[in-house]
Chain A
Amino acid sequence: MSDGDIKVGIISCSGEEIPEGTISRLATRRVLELMRPGNTVTICLPLFLAGNEAEQDFARKHPTITVDGCGKLCAKKGTEKHSGPVSAALVVSDILDSQCSCCARSAKDRTESDKEAVWLVSEEIAKAVDSILTENGGCCNSEDDTDSATCACSKPVPGMEILVDGKPITVAGLALIFDHLAVNGLAPDDKCGDKLLETVRIYHAIEPEEENAYKAALILAYKTYRRKS
């Protein structure tokens, strides 16, 4: 996905005491990494609330969505106190109603219910992002831009361009590959080349003599991609 012109800030409460705080955090990460990566950024709420000027300045300049776990609305109230009105305020307990009663705080206890809850909340965040982008005339890099007359499986997987020995090459699904490897813990350092090459060549033909050039290009692209997410 390409970068959009408008960056929407998403501020999650990440409340530690309740499962809804974990869901708010994970749903926010899902939107940032997978659903609207080119149009969203996040900031740490405790740092923001503690009065860090740079963080508070961001929320003044950009449309912001707050995602709170419960009705105490720490993220919304804190953001409005320091930076003015937010563009949208979502509350996990309202979105999920009683569905989060069996959700967990820690990742080690996560079940299908937790994944479903994160999915539902992230869908709501993505809708709010799209609504803000539409109002501001920005580009919606939506996964949901489906034409009702078209089967999703017939749509080409979006590609990403990399420079291999100075030559632009488009690799289909590269952003999805990067997201998958990031979730599985691949660090964006100089040692990630072999894993990147191994995964990409499953979907994209790479001749043996091109391996080193591809590896260098993929390392650079992966580092850049992770910096933006």
Chain B
Amino acid sequence: MSKRKTIIMPCSGIGKVHGLIAREATYAAADMANAETLCLALLVSGDKDARAKIKDADCIAIDGCPKLCAAKNVEMAGGRVVKSVRVVDSFRGHRGAEPGTATALADDGWKIVREIAADIACGLGKSEVK
């Protein structure tokens, strides 16, 4: 991984639990790896400061669904996506999981959040999980 700043961008999809998992995994990974996040809507709306910020950073996108709004929008805004995480893929190891809703996560949802965050932090060389 380069010395560039890391920015983690979730889709925050509001209709399904996957969007909330993406959002919470972003906060958890940012805490573990001392990384930042950025408002996706601000970036997509063309804000100059937001675009400048991602231009000088390595971006990790966390998307809830296969539409990959976060990854695609970061790339469209000129950002470099070094890792693209799909929450739906994380469910494969959790058959029958009850993750909660788009409003609140249940225990299974938080478990998936921690796994995604730990994987990202590990990739950034931060193996210690808070």
- Asked whether A16 lies within 8 Å of B109 as measured between CB atoms, the reply is no
Stretch of B18-26, B82-90, B118-126 that contacts chain A: B18-26
Contact A16 B14 (CB under 8 A): no
CB distance from A223 to the nearest CB of B (A): 14
Chain A hits for B52, CB < 8 A: none
- Selected from A13, A15, A42, A50, the residue in CB contact (under 8 A) with B73 is A50
Q: Which of A29, A30, A47 has the most CB of B within 10 A?
A: A47
| Residues of chain A from 65 to 111 with CB closer than 8 A to chain B in the complex | 72, 74-75, 77-78, 105-108
Hey, which chain B residues are within 8 Å of A107, CB to CB? Answer: 20, 24, 104-105
Q: A169: CB under 8 A from chain B?
A: no
Interface membership of A182, Cβ < 8 A: yes
Indicate if the CB atoms of B101 and A12 lie closer than 8 Å. Answer: no
| Chain A residues with CB below 8 A from B11, complex form | 44, 46
Could you say which of A17-25, A139-147, A158-166, A209-217 contacts chain B? Answer: A17-25
Interface string of B41-74 (1 = CB under 8 A from A): 1101101000000000000000000010110110
Complex contact B24–A21 (CB within 8 A): no
Q: Do residues A29 and B102 form an inter-chain contact, with CB atoms below 8 A?
A: yes
- Compute how far the CA of A191 lies from the CA of B97 in the bound complex, rounded to whole angstroms: 12
Nearest chain A CB to B34 CB, angstrom units: 16
Produce 1/0 per residue, B1-37, CB < 8 A to A.
0000000011111110001100110111000000001
With a CB–CB cut-off of 8 A, which chain A residues contact B96?
Answer: 191
Known contacts A46-B44, A47-B67; is-contact A17 B101 (Cβ 8 Å)? no
- Determine the residue in chain B with the shortest Cβ distance to A44: B13
Q: Size class of B's contact patch?
A: 35 or more
Q: How far is the CA of A97 from the CA of B111 in the complex (A)?
A: 35
Given contacts A16-B37, A25-B14, contact A74 B42 (CB under 8 A): yes
User: Which of A16, A26, A44 has the most chain B CB atoms closer than 10 A to its own CB?
Assistant: A16
Question: What's the nearest-Cβ distance from chain A to residue B60, in Å?
Answer: 13
B129 within 8 A of A: no
Cα separation A16 to B61 with both chains bound (whole Å): 13
B79: interface (CB < 8 Å)? no
19 contacts between A and B (CB under 8 A): A13-B39, A16-B23, A29-B103, A42-B15, A46-B73, A47-B67, A50-B72, A72-B42, A72-B47, A74-B39, A74-B45, A75-B41, A78-B44, A105-B27, A106-B24, A107-B104, A184-B106, A185-B98, A185-B99
Q: Which A residues contact B (CB, under 8 angstroms)?
A: 12-18, 21, 25-26, 28-30, 33, 42-47, 49-50, 72, 74-75, 77-78, 105-108, 182-187, 191
4 tightest CB-CB pairs across the interface, nearest first? A185-B106, A74-B41, A15-B39, A46-B69
9 further A-B contacts with Cβ under 8 Å, apart from A16-B37, A30-B103, are A16-B10, A16-B39, A17-B39, A45-B44, A46-B44, A50-B73, A72-B45, A105-B27, A185-B104
